Amino acid sequence: MKMPGQDAIAAKGWFKAHRFLIARRVSQAGVLALFLLGPLAGLWIVKGNLNSSLTLGVLPLTDPYVLLQSFAARHWPETAAIVGAIVVAVFYALAGGRVYCSWVCPVNLVTDAAAWLRQRLGLRGVSRLPRATRQGLLIMTFAVSAVAGVVAWEVINPVSMFHRGLIFGVGLAWVVILAVFLLDAFVSPRSWCGNLCPVGAFYGWLGYKSLVRVRADQRAQCNDCGDCYDVCPEPQVIRPALKGAADGVGPVILDAACTNCGRCIDVCSKDVFGFGTRFGNTAPLADGDDSTAPRRRCAAGAPNFHASINPER
């Protein structure tokens, strides 16, 4: 089976066709290295883990999702945790909520590996849960936190279990990580991050109006090779931006499910995509589009019907 991105490698060279993938791996490894420098080398730049950490003894960073569950369990935290959560929330609200998923989260390495293997073996997708399942699970974690008085998702969260496991000792957490890998590789494609993980769902909402977005400014150049859809962990986000010219939609990928991973930028041989801001989201006149009449077809209702579950679909 032909792997996506071959055209881009031919057109732009290997490095340019992989630069955001490399940058992401560097970022993921770098975050992990910062946490590991302490326990492995005695160099304490960052203490703690992704749930809450202290950098250089001054900067607290706290996962706002975990802290909100603690609120739901009716605990009022100390100032350090609240300040840390605000810092994290502001960062992701600007940079893109799911930047956490693709640039920081260690489970991304696992699910990307599963997706790669899947593509290599040419496995077709089987049963899919609705993408909104993660939204249901997100609400569920708050409900269970409130009812049981426990930071509910932390009881089984593979993300923090994996991260904590790498830093503090893994225990049986590898079973959970293996389960995520097997689920994504052999049961349901891109299922963990795409359909289930409430952490990603939470960060999606956090970056609902984020500043940094991927844009398909050069969409007129698109040659319909489909490589961007093949590599995208959330392929449904691309279509409105890439193919919405006739409807006056785009060219910014506004869907909060987009993880800003930039892989579409890498694999596009025509350089259709690029990072930019969310502003100026009207079709450029070069498309021959009437940008003064946006979203004409929305009157029919159907295209936006799922907006309540899939934000800005």
Partner 1 sequence: MAEPGDIRTLFASRRRFLTDAARVTGAAVLAGFGLALYARRAHPLPADAIRPPGALPEEKFVGACIRCGLCVRDCPYGTLDLTRLGDGPATGTPYFNARRVPCEMCEDIPCVKACPTGALDHQLTDIAKARMGIAVLVDQENCLNFLGLRCDVCYRVCPLIDKAITLETQHNLRSGKHTMFLPTVWASACTGCGKCEKSCVLEEAAIKVLPAPLARGKPGAHYRLGWEEKEKAGGELVPGMIDLPGRMPEAKP
| Chosen residue from 4, 5, 48, 233 binding partner 1 by CB under 8 A | 48
| Contact partners, residue 306, CB within 8 Å, separation at least 6 | 313
Instruction: Kindly give the residue spans of alpha helices, DSSP state H, lying in 99-249.
Output: 99, 107-121, 133-148, 158-168, 173-182, 191, 198-206, 227-231, 238-243
Region 253-292 residues binding partner 1, contact defined as CB under 8 A: none
Report the residue count for the chain. 313
Does residue 176 interact with partner 1 by CB under 8 A?
yes
56 binds partner 1 (CB under 8 A): no
Query: Which residue of 147, 178, 211, 286 would you call a contact of partner 1, by CB under 8 A?
Result: 147
Tell me how far, at minimum, the Cβ of 133 lies from partner 1, in Å.
5
In angstroms, the CA 12 to CA 267 distance is: 9
Q: Is 277 helix (H, G, I), strand (E, B) or coil?
A: strand
* Contact with partner 1 (CB under 8 A) among 15, 168, 275, 279: 168
Q: Per CB under 8 A, does 140 bind partner 1?
A: yes
Name which of 76 and 124 has its Cβ closer to partner 1.
Answer: 76
Sole binder of partner 1 in the list 13, 149, 226, 280 (CB under 8 A): 149
CB of 52 to partner 1, least distance (A): 3
Between 96 and 244, CB nearer to partner 1: 244
- Which one among 13, 30, 125, 130 touches partner 1, defined by CB under 8 A? 130
Q: Does 58 bind partner 1 (CB under 8 A)?
A: no
Residue from 31, 32, 36, 54 in contact with partner 1 (CB under 8 A): 54
Q: What is the dihedral of CA 114, 103, 269, 94, to 10 degrees?
A: 140
Choose the stretch contacting partner 1; rule: CB under 8 A; options: 8-16, 97-105, 144-152, 242-250: 144-152
In this structure, how many other beta carbons lie within 10 angstroms of the beta carbon of residue 255?
A: 22
**172 lies in the site for partner 1, by CB under 8 A:** yes
**CA pair distance 242, 245, nearest whole angstrom:** 7
**Residue 108 neighbours by CB under 8 Å, 6+ apart:** 24, 28, 101, 102, 193
Report how far apart, in Å, the C-alpha atoms of 262 and of each of 23, 35, 116, 186, 312 are. Answer: 10, 25, 16, 25, 19
Question: Which residue is it, tokens 């071959």?
Answer: 6
Using CB under 8 A, pick the residue from 175, 178, 182, 211 that binds partner 1: 175
Q: Choose, by CB under 8 A, the member of 97, 106, 165, 251 that binds partner 1.
A: 165
Instruction: Please select the residue that binds partner 1; options are 21, 24, 53, 104, rule is CB under 8 A.
Output: 53
| DSSP letter string, 61-115 | EE-HHHHHHHHHTT----HHHHHHHHHHHHHHHHH-TTHIIIII-THHHHHHHHH
Is residue 143 a contact point for partner 1 (CB under 8 A)?
yes
Binding region for partner 1 (CB under 8 A): 38, 44, 47-49, 51-54, 60, 62-63, 66-67, 70, 73-78, 80-81, 84, 129-130, 132-133, 135-137, 139-141, 143-145, 147-156, 160-161, 164-165, 167-173, 175-176, 299-302, 305-306, 309
